[in-house]
A and B are shown apart, each in its own frame.
Chain A
Amino acid sequence: MKRYSLFSLVRNGINHHSNWDRVWRNPNPRPEYDVVIIGGGGHGLATAYYLAKEHKITKIAVLEKGYIGGGNTGRNTEIVRSNYLWDEAAQLYEFSLKLWQNLSSELNFNLMYSKKGVLNLGHSLQDMRDISRRVNANRLNGIDSELLSTEEVKGLVPIINTSPDTRYPILGASLQKRGGTARHDGVAWGFGRAADAFGVDIIQGCEVVGIRQEDGSAVGVDTTKGYIKAKKIGVAVAGHSTVLANMAGFRLPIETHPLQAWVTDPIKPVLDVVVMSNSVHAYVSQTDRGELLAGAGIDAYVGYGQRGSFSVLEHAASSIIELFPIFSRIRVVRQWGGIVDTTPDACPIIGKTPLKGLFLNCGWGTGGYKATPGSGWVFAYTIANDTPHNLNEPFSLERFITGKLIDEHGAAGVAH
C-alpha cells in the first residue's frame, strides 16, 4: 500500500493523479477462506482488518452484496461518542472511541474525526436526573463527561433557544468533549483499503443466499458468485441479521426499523457542536461542507425499505426549530433512510451463535456507527479465539434467556 501524504499528493499532482494505487483490488472469490465475513460495511471491514492485523489470519474474504459502505455506514449522521450509561456499554463504546483517536493515522486515511463535542440536552427534571446519573457514571468509568447548566449550553451554542418560555425549555445538558463526528464513507474506505493491503479479499456484488452446515457446524456460504468454503463465518449485516439467522436456522431478538437522516443546503458555519435532544427528539450537527446533518428516532414499524415516513421528518423539523429558531429558513435538500437492527435492550449482540463456526455481530440499532472500530476489534478477537473478549462477553445472545439485559433505553439519552 503506497502511503497517502501531502508529499504523495504533490507528486501525484504532477502526472494528474493517474498513478495512484487502487484503494482495493476487485478479486474473484477463492474457493475457500479461513474466515468469511458477510457484510462489507464498516463493522465487517473493520473485523477483517483486525483479524488480519491483530490475529495474523490471512485468508479472509469480506462478502458485500452491494458496494462497501453502502448500508448504514454510509447512511448515518456521523456521530461518535461513548457516554453510555451502563458499565458494559460504556466500556465497549469507550474502547471504540479510543481507537477512533488514532484511526486516521493507523489506516493512513483521513477519517476527519472531529472532536467538536456532543451535547445531550435535558428538558425536564427527570431528564436532568438521568443526565446527571449518566455523567457521574461516565466519569467514574474514566469517560470525559460534563454537566452543563442552561447558561453554559448557551455559551457553547449561542444560536440555541434557551428561553424558559419554550414548550420544553432546556434545563441543562451533558457534554462529551471528545465526542464529535467522523466522515462516514471514509471509515468504510479506510478500513477497506487497509484490509486489502493485508491481503483481505473484498468481494463486492456478492450476496450470500445460503449457509451450509455439516455436523452442526457452518462450513461455507452459497453466494451469487458460487459456493465459498469457510472455516469460520462472521455475520455483520445490520438490518439483515434476521435474514442471515434464518439461513443458519436460529431466531434473533431483533426488529429491523427504518432510521432516517437528512441534510440541508450548505451554509456558513453556525454550529460547531453536535446537539442531541432525547425529549425534543432530534439531533443536529454541521458538516465541514456546511450542511446541517440531522436525524431523529426510528420509524415505529418494521421496514427493510431504506426509507421512512414523511411524518418523522415533519416532527423533527418542529423539534429543530424549537431548538434553533434561526434554522426555519434553511432548506432540507435530501433525506434518506437506513435500516437498523434493534434489540429489546438497545445493546448489540456480539458473539457466538447456536451454530458452531458462525459468529454474529448485530443489534446495534441506531448506535452502530460510532462503535465501528471497537466492534470490529472485539468481533475479530471473538472469531479468532473462538471465545468472546471481556469487552463483548456481556453482549451475548444468551442474555435474552438469562435476563441479564443491559438496558440502555432507560437513561442513556438518545442512542445514536
Chain B
Amino acid sequence: MLMIDCPWCGNRDESEFMYGGEGNIVRPQDPESISDDSWSDYLFMRKNTKGLYMEQWLHSYGCRRWFLAERETVSYEILNTHKIGEINPESKS
C-alpha cells in the first residue's frame, strides 16, 4: 500500500491514484517520418527498470493532475515526486 506524495496535494493513499506507466516518454515530433521500428519503440518498448524507475501517476480521486514519481521497483520506496515539466534536481534515474 503505497503512500504517494502528490506534488499538488501532499501525501495520499495509493487508492486515490491511477498508474500511468513509464514517465518521460516523448512522443516523436514527426511520426510519419520515422520507421515502423522507431514507432514501435515509442509505442511499446519500456524500460521496466528493476531499480529506480521514473513513472507517471494521475491523482485521479484528487486534483486530477498527472505527475512524475521516481520509485524503486523492488523496495517500492518513492524517492521523489514532481510536477510535469519541472526539472527535478534530485532525480537519479
Contact = CB atoms under 8 A, between A and B. Distances in A.
Contact of A309 (B1, B37, B47): B1
A300 B2 CA distance: 12
B74 A304 contact: yes
A309 B19 CA distance: 13
A253 interface: yes
Of the four ranges (under 10, 10 to 19, 20 to 34, 35 or more), the interface on chain A belongs to 20 to 34
A255 B73 CA distance: 11
Contact of B36 (A256, A301, A402): A402
A304 B18 contact: no
A242 B37 CA distance: 18
A4 interface: no
A240 B49 CA distance: 10
Interface stretch (B25-33, B38-46, B84-92): B38-46
A400 B40 contact: yes
B55 A302 contact: yes
Contacts of A19: none
Nearest to B76: A305
B40 A303 contact: no
Describe B's contact surface by its main secondary structure: mixed
A128 interface: no
Contacts of B37: 401
Given A252-B48, A309-B1, A310-B1, 7 more contacts: A242-B50, A254-B46, A254-B48, A301-B19, A303-B76, A304-B74, A400-B43
B50 A256 contact: yes
Find the residue from B22, B40, B53, B74 having the highest chain A CB count within 10 A.
B40
B73 A303 contact: yes
A391 to B, nearest CB: 23
B15 interface: yes
A302 B14 contact: no
Given A301-B55, A305-B75, A251 B36 contact: no
Contact of B73 (A253, A304, A344): A304
Contacts of A305: 73-76
Nearest to A345: B44
B21 interface: yes
Contacts of B40: 253, 400-401
A300 B76 contact: no
Closest 4 CB pairs of A and B: A253-B44, A251-B45, A300-B19, A242-B48
B4 to A, nearest CB: 10
9 contacts: A251-B41, A255-B21, A256-B50, A301-B19, A302-B22, A304-B73, A305-B74, A344-B44, A400-B44
Contact of A240 (B19, B47, B50): B50
